[in-house]
Structure formats: structure tokens, C-alpha cells
Amino acid sequence: MIGDVITGLREHFAHVVCVDDGSTDDSAQRAADAGAFVVRHPVNLGQGAALQTGIEFALLHDDAEYVVTFDADGQHRVEDALAMVARARDEDLAIVFGSRFLDDRTRPGALKKLVLKTAAWVTNMTTGLTLTDAHNGLRVIRRDAAAHLALQQDRMAHATEIVLQLGRTGLPWAEHPVEVLYTDYSKAKGQSLLNAVNILVDLVVR
Amino acid sequence: MWIQFLLIAAIVAIGYFFMRRTGADSHLALRRIGFVLFIIAAVLAVLFPQWLTWLANLIGVGRGTDLLLYALIIVFLVFVFTQFRRNVSLQRQLTLLSRRIAILDARERERAESASPDDDADGARADDPRA
């Protein structure tokens, strides 16, 4: 699965960084074989920590203009990522958030939609931005905006934290319609509905 | 009574171990003073249980043992909270340390790859036990 995702990305992006968050199977090796540069956490830390590591590593390279965050489970489309980078360039945007709710390509179940909408509402309450889809892993972040990121929430609550920190930069941003592919794999890997409880508690209890 | 002897021995032994100099010397003096006070109070409570009951009655608690139970609950909750806080800060440190290791290791491999472009990417990772 991860091999296909990386291969798809490598057709259009020269540099793909894959953060191995202490995995014990061979997925890190497969990512490397598919052409990603793998950065390895020595122990499992969580998705937010992995995101921060990947972004910091990317920013160490002076030629990195934009950072695209892209889930490795195959739920995002490379075409959407390309369109978002193009839009960031054309409209001089520092941040482009992907949203599955701006068009009707993505059809999440009613319950999932409710959870995502609630998460978006919580995010908007805490960050002051008005996003339609807060928990979408596909984002384009320009270098200057990415340099402001210092994610502290190691686990899932980072999705709100990243919006909060990017919002505080005051840099121009937009939401871009993307399609989320609910493959069986990404469904199995995706956050369960119970995780919504964790996200809320993580945000309130610091 | 035997129980008094056993309790006092246990209290003094525990107090002695807690007052020993450990690696973390923050607030060591305060901790030592606190423990001396604790030992004195505990020994007195064992020798003269009616003293504890007198104190309990003073603040509206029926028996000395009840007062002890309430105090134990509060101390336990404080303990849980401080351990939780310590855990969060340890996790934070672990994250930063792991990230530092991950990035240092990645930079090193990156340099090795750019230095010898003929090498297969796997070569630079041969020493990684997970690879």
C-alpha cells in the first residue's frame, strides 16, 4: 500500500519524505524502495510528532519551497496535491488546506460526517479560522508558514493544533476541494469514531 | 503492643530511605524537613491514637482512622496528578530526543548518499537493525 502511494507521489514530486514512526513491519523499507527518503523515529511517538519531524527535516533543505503533508494510507489523490501547490503559487498563498466538503466527490458515512463536522466546529472555535474540514491530512504549507510550526500534540489532536499555529501566522490561506478515497485500507487505518472523544479531551485537558 | 512496634519500625525505615540523597536533589532540604515532620506525626499517631481522634473531632470527623483515610485519598490524588504531569513532560522530552535522533540519522544517510551516488540507497542503512 505505502509503496503505491510513494510511487504515485514520486511521479510528480522530486522529494518525498516518509516518516517511519517506529514501525515494526517492513513498510519503512518499502517506502524507501519506492523512492521516499525515510526518516525514522527510534520509538513510536504518534502522527503529530511524525508530522513535525517530517516538516523540520524538509525545512533543513534550503530548496524546499513548499511542504505538502500527505497521508501514507492512500486516502489522498496526487492530482489534488498538485492542484493545491499550483494554486498556492498562482494565488500567492502560504497555506492551502484540503477539504472533502467543498464538492460532492467524497461521500463519508453520516456518522463519520458528523464527527468530522464536529471536529471542524471545535477547530474553528479554538482557532478563529473558518474551515469546512479540519481533519484532512492533505495540506500545502509554504516554507515561511511551516517554519512557525511547533506541534506539541503528539497524537491525533495535532490536526487542530496545526490549524491553530498556521492561523496565528496571519499568512494568506485558502481551502481547496479534495477527494478523500475511503479505501478499505484507509478505513481500517483511519481514526475510529472513538478517537473523536480523545481529540476533544486532548484539547480541553492540556 | 506489637502492632505499634511494627508500625513505628516501618515508618522510620521508610522515612530513612526517602531522606537519603538520590540523583534528583531538587528541594532535597524541603523534602527532608517534610519527612521528619511526617515521621514525628506518624509515630505520635501510632503511640497515642486518641491524639488523632482528638484532631479529627476538632475538624468535624468522627474517628481518627476516618481522618487518616481522607488524608490518604488526598495524598493519593496529589501523587497521581504529579505523576501525570511528570509523565507528560517526559513524553515531551522523549519526542524531542527521538526527533533529534531521527533527523541526525537522516542527515547522515543523506550526506552519505550524496557523497557516493553509485551506492544503492540501502547500503547506507545496512547497519540499521530494522532495515
Q: What ipTM did this prediction achieve?
A: 0.81
Task: Please report, rounded to a whole number, the percentage of residues in chain B having pLDDT higher than 70.
Answer: 85
* CA separation for the pair A205, B67 (Å, rounded): 31
Residues of A with CB under 8 A from a CB of B: 19, 24, 28-29, 32, 37-43, 45, 49, 52-53, 56-57, 60, 152, 154
Who has greater pLDDT, B35 or B119? Answer: B35
pLDDT at A80: 93
Strands A37-41 and A66-69: unpaired
Whether the predicted pLDDT of B102 surpasses 90? yes
CB contact under 8 A, B95 and A45: yes
| A:B CB pairs within 8 Å | 49
- CA–CA dist A94, A167 (Å, integer): 11
Instruction: For B110, name the nearest residue in chain A, comparing CA atoms only.
Output: A37
**Is A70 within 8 Å of A76 (Cβ atoms)?**
yes
Look at residues A46, A5, A30 and name the one whose alpha carbon lies nearest to residue A38: A30
Band of residue A124 on the pLDDT scale cut at 50, 70, 90: confident
Give how many domains chain A has, as a whole number: 1
Strand order in the sheet with A95-99: A66-69, A139-142, A95-99, A173-177
pLDDT of residue B79: 93
Cβ–Cβ below 8 Å for A154 and B122: no
- What mean pLDDT comes out for the span A171-183? 87
Nearest CA in chain B to A38: B106
> Chain B closest CA to A49's CA: distance in Å?
7
Identify the band that residue B121 occupies on the pLDDT scale cut at 50, 70 and 90.
very low
pTM attached to this predicted model: 0.76
Chain B: nearest CA to A159, how far in angstroms?
17
> Which whole number is the average pLDDT over B79-98?
93
CB of A39 closer than 8 Å to CB of A126? no
Shortest Cα distance from A63 to chain B (angstroms)?
15
The residue range of the domain holding A70 is 2-204
Provide residues of B within 8 Å CB-CB of chain A.
91-92, 94-95, 98-99, 101-103, 105-107, 110, 121-122, 125, 128, 130-131
Nearest to A66 by CA among A25, A94, A92: A94
Strands annotated E in A3-137: 17-21, 37-41, 66-69, 95-99
pLDDT digits (tens, 9 = 90+) for A7-48: 999 999 989 999 999 999 998 999 999 999 999 999 999 889
Structural domain boundaries in chain B: 2-91
Check B99 against A49: CB less than 8 A apart.
yes
C-alpha cell at A10: 514520486
Q: Are A40 and B121 within 8 A, CB to CB?
A: no
**Longest CA–CA separation in chain B, Å:** 85
pLDDT at B81 over 90: yes
Instruction: Please tell me the distance in Å from B94's CA to the nearest CA on chain A.
Output: 8
Q: Is the pLDDT of residue A189 over 60?
A: no
Judging contacts by C-beta atoms under 8 Å, the chain B residues touching residue A51 are: none
**Is it the case that residue A52 has pLDDT exceeding 90?**
yes
Find which of A45, A52, A55, A151 to mutate to test the B interface (most B CBs within 10 Å of its CB): A45
| CATH code of A148's domain | 3.90.550.10
**Does A43 contact B98 at a Cβ distance shorter than 8 Å?**
yes
* CA gap B97, B93 in Å, rounded: 6
Q: Which residue has the cell 495540506?
A: A139
